[in-house]
Amino acid sequence: MVVWQIHHDDLQKIYKKSSVGNLIGRLMIEYLYVEKLKREFSFLSETAEERYLKLLKEQPELFQAVPLKYIASYMGITPQALSRIKKRIC
In the predicted structure, residue 90 carries a pLDDT above the cut 80:
no
- 1 occurs within a structural domain: no
Report the run of H or E that residue 42 belongs to, with start and end: helix 19-45
**What confidence tens digit (pLDDT) does each residue in 33-89 have?**
999 999 999 999 999 999 999 999 999 999 999 999 999 999 999 999 999 999 998
Are 51 and 13 part of one and the same domain? no
pLDDT score at 3: 82
pLDDT above 70: residue 27: yes
Cα distance between residue 29 and residue 27, in whole Å: 5
Q: Which domain holds residue 22?
A: 7-45
pLDDT at 1: 66
21 & 39 share domain: yes
Domain count, the chain: 2
Q: Is residue 37 part of a domain?
A: yes
Question: Measured between alpha carbons, how far is 87 from 69 in angstroms, rounded to an integer?
Answer: 15
Helix then strand count (H, E) for the chain reads 6, 0
d(CA 55, CA 63): 9
